[in-house]
Amino acid sequence: LPLLILRKTMPKATFYTHVSHAEAFICRLAQRAVQSGRVLVWAEGAAAAERLDAELWRFEQAGFLAHEMWQSGEWPQDVPLLLGAGADLPAVPTDWVVLNVSPEFWCDAARPPARVLEIVGSSLEELAEARERFKAYKQQGFEIEHHNMQGKA
């Protein structure tokens, strides 16, 4: 019998730094990520999630980015994009990507996701927080990727 080697893929965190116009960037990134699978956008709290909800509905003139608010419980199979919020990080299905726009460290979740997208602004405070987050993900064994969005749309 052939020996099967199961290779566990390393989780990945992608940092987008120096992001201006965060809401518009989040909508564009969510739209791109949904083309490859299902996405959970995780906000700091209910008010932030509601703002993102409104942005996603009016994101494109000719349409919208279909999504739902997620509270807890079942993960819908027919919705490509969910919005959630809070300090209690859920166990995300392995085929979902987390687009994190909260201060939470997804690498510390009970079951960290395989893929996390981190959005970082340009302020010194945001960049300092991102460095801490970067270190935490690296210590938890995440592969790190970085895109400097300064001067880009």
Q: What is the pLDDT confidence band of residue 3, given thresholds at 50, 70 and 90?
A: low
Instruction: Report whether pLDDT(77) > 90.
Output: no
Pair of tokens at residue 25: 């960037």
The pLDDT tens digits of the residues spanning 111-126 come to 899 999 999 999 999 9
The model's confidence at residue 9, banded by pLDDT at 50, 70 and 90, is: confident
What one-letter code names the amino acid at 73? Answer: G
pLDDT tens-digit readout, 41-50: 999 999 999 9
pTM exceeds 0.85 for this model: yes
Average pLDDT over residues 81-88: 88
Query: On the CB side of 33, how many CA atoms lie within 13 Å of its CA?
Result: 26
pLDDT of the residue at 119: 94
Task: Tokens for 43, please give them.
Answer: 């906000």
